[in-house]
Structure 1
């Protein structure tokens, strides 16, 4: 039963005759809760009775927990999570750079949608709009954790849709227009093959694998000579459908590590991690030409090299180095350099596909799938995307869908080769510094097609 007690004011270390009332009520754990500052005994008792009534209805929230600062709770929440390392790093980047400078000392009970939306729109004016949305999403996850922990009753950010003011919409449209005018899109196969020839077999095969099989950057780096290729075998019309596959089972990740509890920066991480989602764990069906090129790549690499796609010294690529040393010169062009001490002469390269990246090559793969009419169940599976909706439960890829996809990708390749007047991608065996080839990588020799066998 709640009750009230007098609290005498103190002046110069001595109690005076003036007093206020303090409410006392029993908390769920059996201890006594307290709330001071009431003018009358009746107000204090009413407050205590209300708390005990809420406790009986399982709707009570400890006022001390509700007054906890957002920053303190965010650190508790982060310490209790255990996602992949890159996810921890990204969350701490958002907290340190954007969220905590504004919300660090705000009590949980005082976080509301009106202030959060206005703040997110201010972030959109100086950063990408997606950054502001990601910050709101992370804040909502943290506030949901506060509800689950009994700090607050309701997450005020859950399920809310942000409305953007005119200034933010204008900035988004300006960025979209600039991106559409200056950014490379899906690559046409003829220019793609020209870049592959320019790069040579080692990096050119990597380029074509991304464009025609669609592994993510980290997934492609994690491919090894021993485990990259497999075979699909499915019942089909009284026999079996078989085709070679690219087995994606892990990825190479590179990021700045963070202490999960404090956010303190640690050393850089560069190594293998599990794939992010179940949908990313997949076998990608390979068209005949690409299967042949990957077999040749495996044959070409020395025994001591494990990675399928690697540097000239056989080591795993770093993303920034690959972009600077391989993609940018091959796609954007480069100036000629005369021979000098320690450097051989370098010919001039004209631009072929300015702005092309490995991520856009993955876009190219999915665009090719749409171009040849790949059925949705198979298109989502091969790209490693999670298909939304109930159709993801009811529809599944079939051998006929797979055959149609492989024939379509093979036709794109063969038509591009014909348009260029080539019978093989690389004109001759090319010596690669540190990794000598064992045989020519021409595309003239045919690999077995996907087939149905009785």
Structure 2
């Protein structure tokens, strides 16, 4: 195999190196070459050069200078290039700084191979739970896929999951069906801490499926009875008034924001996944929210004790855990605000507040509502043709209102009997 005008081999000491023309020129007009050394025979070296020429001709070549880009530099470039929601960006940065950058800080983008990825994956899975480890691998996979698109390497070193081999069923979180009696006790417990603001928040989450940050960010102008007349968007205000009735015949909440901390400041942001939506509410909840808003002057529908957004306090720790797990009585001569003992609600003891959102979907599924109406209420989009052709109608919304109201009426009937049963335990209704 002989040298060619664009590839040639030269010996240096006991090894040889191959040089090939990249198809580019220096500023002075001379051809730009790249090389690789360490070969022990000319044929192998020349074949490598010919392979590089093939890649250059077919647009799949990665130059030495591109491939040598430090991984730390590429991670910074990648973070600056992506366009995602604030919380997603914060999450990605955290995963990169805590796991990806420390492991690959001395590597270039091109030298990361499959074996190195396996070592990285093994380490991550040894220190993190399954879901957290999956998130780290997901971000690393996106970083490597984009490195391929940026022509910094030929292919991603990430091994995709294969369907071959023994099937392992994913372990799902254990949860019980959401009983309205349990929601009632959770609301009563939370009210002992926060007053009507706390109990109304619990009922609103159970009856709408709103995410916690959306509830914390719900403002007066987007809540019944002010909405839709108070909506600042004229077009949306007029369309909503026509659909939900100028007389509020279908009371509803408009999800326009969530609150999250940005640079240590509580900030209004779009809802997760840009899931703007209108949620009709049953009559009992409409009355409850009207009384709540009449009782305070805060711009937030569910103000904290200090008057600001509930997002400014650690709601899970301060209020949800005692409401779900139960708490001892808080009284005595030095206690400014006495509180009775709070009974635990077994189906939610040790569980997440977010399960109230899951429970709302369970209720709508049990009541036989259309999939499009249920998923839209959760802030989800149906995939494929079903999502394109489907549409939520006013009749669908009214039926959801009616079934939710029926659940509330059933709870009141059980109260009339003198006691309600929650997770096989009897609690007096008072």
Q: Which residue of 1 aligns with 2:396?
A: 401
Given that residues 285 and 382 in structure 1 are in contact (C-alpha distance below 8 angstroms), is that contact kept between their aligned partners in structure 2? no
How many Å separate the matches in 1 of 2:211 and 2:386?
A: 25
TM-score by length of 1: 0.75
Q: Secondary structure at the match of 2:264?
A: strand
Q: 1:191 aligns with which of 169, 182, 187?
A: 182
Pair 1:253-2:260 in alignment: yes
Greater RCO, CA 8 A, separation 6+: 1
Q: Which residue of 1 aligns with 2:203?
A: 208
Pair 1:270-2:266 in alignment: yes
Q: Which residue of 2 aligns with 1:350?
A: 343
Q: Deviations over 1:265-324 (max 9, x none)?
A: xx534211122323x11111111111222222221112xx21111112211124762223
Q: Which residue of 2 aligns with 1:421?
A: 416
Q: Which residue of 2 aligns with 1:88?
A: 89
Q: Which residue of 1 aligns with 2:308?
A: 315
Q: How does 1:1-150 map to 2 (within 5 A)?
A: 1-4=5-8, 20-21=16-17, 23-28=19-24, 32-37=32-37, 47-113=48-114, 115-117=116-118, 119-150=120-151
Given that residues 326 and 341 in structure 2 are in contact (C-alpha distance below 8 angstroms), is that contact kept between their aligned partners in structure 1? yes
Given that residues 211 and 362 in structure 1 are in contact (C-alpha distance below 8 angstroms), is that contact kept between their aligned partners in structure 2? yes
TM-score by length of 2: 0.79
How many Å separate the matches in 2 of 1:276 and 1:336?
A: 38
Deviation at 1:164?
Answer: 11
How many Å separate the matches in 2 of 1:144 and 1:359?
A: 33
* 1:416–1:338 Cα change, 3 Å: closer
Q: Which residue of 2 aligns with 1:306?
A: 299
Q: Secondary structure at the match of 1:403?
A: helix
* 1:157–1:242 Cα change, 3 Å: farther
**Aligned pairs, number:** 388
Given that residues 117 and 157 in structure 2 are in contact (C-alpha distance below 8 angstroms), is that contact kept between their aligned partners in structure 1? no
* 1:165–1:6 Cα change, 3 Å: closer
Q: Deviations over 1:117-147 (max 9, x none)?
A: 5643553343211112111111111011111
Q: Secondary structure at the match of 2:99?
A: helix
Q: Which residue of 2 aligns with 1:363?
A: 358
* 1:46–1:355 Cα change, 3 Å: closer
* 1:201–1:344 Cα change, 3 Å: closer
Q: Deviations over 1:64-114 (max 9, x none)?
A: 322434333222212222423322221122123222333333443343446
Given that residues 20 and 52 in structure 2 are in contact (C-alpha distance below 8 angstroms), is that contact kept between their aligned partners in structure 1? no
Q: Which residue of 1 aligns with 2:324?
A: 331
Deviation at 1:5?
Answer: 7.3
Give the gaps of 5 or more residues in structure 1.
10-17, 256-266, 424-454
How many Å separate the matches in 1 of 2:416 and 2:164?
A: 52
Pair 1:386-2:381 in alignment: yes
How many Å separate the matches in 1 of 2:312 and 2:122?
A: 32
* 1:109–1:165 Cα change, 3 Å: farther
How many Å separate the matches in 1 of 2:101 and 2:53?
A: 35
Given that residues 190 and 417 in structure 1 are in contact (C-alpha distance below 8 angstroms), is that contact kept between their aligned partners in structure 2? no
How many Å separate the matches in 2 of 1:400 and 1:411?
A: 16
How many Å separate the matches in 2 of 1:327 and 1:42?
A: 72
How many Å separate the matches in 2 of 1:222 and 1:308?
A: 8
How many Å separate the matches in 2 of 1:235 and 1:337?
A: 48
Given that residues 185 and 356 in structure 1 are in contact (C-alpha distance below 8 angstroms), is that contact kept between their aligned partners in structure 2? no
How many Å separate the matches in 2 of 1:6 and 1:243?
A: 83
* 1:347–1:275 Cα change, 3 Å: closer
How many Å separate the matches in 2 of 1:206 and 1:422?
A: 26
How many Å separate the matches in 1 of 2:367 and 2:339?
A: 40
RMSD (Å) for aligned C-alpha atoms: 3.4
* 1:28–1:284 Cα change, 3 Å: farther
